[in-house]
């Protein structure tokens, strides 16, 4: 007859083995649950990311259509009206004994307005921007801003311009345009510098102004302009690094992959 005392270790070993097995099964189920939970959260994040990208893409398309309509309106209607007004002033000027008076000054003002409107129409037209390389488009924008005499904008380019797709080129240009518009409207700056670096890995664009700046560290309310800059850059796989301090101006660096 078996000794009950000899069977006790076997029972203990069996119980311990079952306990370890239960722990292992429980750990496996917990790991599996966490993995599925992570995959689910990741899929939700991807869906949200795609949804936000689709919304942003739609907003950009609407914006480009609006820009194109305004550009066409300036070219077709406002430009023609100003041209007619200039012709009428020429006729009136020829009949005056003193053509250097008020009408001559008015004609000069209309001529300047026509040039400014032409430049604005070019910067708004998606087709015209797409026909130029990126540096050419940005240089044309800096020249337009310099004509306003509100801001002295300089452009520095290092490296050779790679071939960028039209869509990517347009997004980068609109982002730079948004930064320059923010400088004009909000910074109070007198000078701005655009430094473009084409290296082998990515495109870097650094825009610095000497304006009043803001507290970038504790700034909890990013304006719509800064949000647009960040979202546009992220949409093409890049990043926007915004640095600023009160009284020390602002620097925005765009790091953008070529593809």
Tokens of 34: 């966490």
pLDDT of 153 reads: 93
* Distance, CA of 2 to CA of 103 (rounded, Å): 127
| Domain residue limits at 185 | 150-259
Residue 97 belongs to some domain of the structure:
no
- Locate the DSSP E strands across the chain: 152-158, 191-198, 202-209, 239-244, 250-257
Residue 138 belongs to some domain of the structure:
no
* Distance, CA of 256 to CA of 254 (rounded, Å): 6
Residue 49 belongs to some domain of the structure:
no
Distances in Å between the Cα of 55 and the Cα atoms of 49, 175, 176, 219, 228 are: 10, 17, 21, 25, 12
pLDDT of 82 reads: 67
Residue 19 belongs to some domain of the structure:
no
Rounded to a whole number of angstroms, the distance between the first and last alpha carbons of the chain is 82
Number of structural domains found in the chain: 1
Residue 48 belongs to some domain of the structure:
no
Q: How many other C-beta atoms can be found within 10 angstroms of the C-beta atom of residue 32?
A: 10
Residue 235 belongs to some domain of the structure:
yes
Question: Which domain CATH number covers 249?
Answer: 3.30.565.10
Residue 33 belongs to some domain of the structure:
no
Phi, psi of 162 (to 5 degrees): -80, 170
Q: Please tell me whether the overall predicted TM-score, pTM, comes out greater than 0.85 for this model.
A: no
The distance between the two most distant Cα atoms of the chain, rounded to a whole number of Å, is: 142
Per-residue pLDDT of the chain (259 residues; tens, 9 = 90+): 555 555 566 667 777 777 777 787 777 778 887 887 777 777 776 766 665 566 556 556 656 666 666 666 666 666 666 666 667 667 666 666 655 566 666 667 677 667 767 776 666 677 777 778 889 889 988 988 888 788 899 999 998 877 778 778 888 888 898 898 889 888 889 999 999 999 888 899 999 999 998 887 776 455 666 877 888 888 888 899 999 888 889 999 999 888 7
pLDDT of 206 reads: 95
pLDDT of 54 reads: 60
Residue 42 belongs to some domain of the structure:
no
């Amino acid at each position: 007859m078996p000794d009950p005392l000899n069977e006790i270790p076997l029972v203990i070993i069996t119980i311990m083995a079952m306990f370890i097995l239960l722990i292992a099964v429980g750990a496996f189920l917990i790991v599996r649950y966490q993995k599925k939970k992570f995959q689910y959260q990741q899929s939700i994040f991807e869906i949200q990311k795609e949804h936000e990208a689709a919304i942003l893409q739609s907003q950009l398309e609407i914006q480009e259509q609006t820009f194109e309509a305004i550009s066409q309106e300036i070219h077709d209607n406002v430009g023609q009206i100003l041209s007619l007004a200039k012709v009428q002033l020429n006729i009136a000027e020829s009949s005056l004994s003193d053509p250097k008076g008020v009408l001559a000054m008015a004609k000069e003002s209309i001529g300047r307005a026509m040039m400014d409107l032409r430049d604005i129409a070019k910067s708004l037209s998606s087709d015209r921007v797409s026909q130029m390389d990126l540096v050419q488009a940005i240089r044309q924008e800096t020249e337009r801003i310099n004509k306003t005499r509100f801001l002295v904008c300089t452009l520095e380019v290092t490296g050779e311009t790679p071939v960028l797709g039209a869509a990517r080129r347009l997004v980068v240009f609109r982002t730079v345009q948004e930064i320059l518009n923010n400088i004009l409207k909000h910074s109070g700056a007198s000078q701005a510098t655009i430094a473009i670096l084409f290296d082998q890995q990515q495109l870097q664009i650094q825009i610095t102004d000497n304006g009043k700046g803001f507290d970038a560290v504790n700034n909890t309310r990013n304006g719509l302009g800064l949000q647009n800059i960040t979202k546009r850059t992220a949409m093409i796989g890049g990043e926007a690094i915004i640095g600023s301090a009160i009284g020390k101006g602002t620097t925005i660096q765009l790091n953008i992959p070529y593809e």
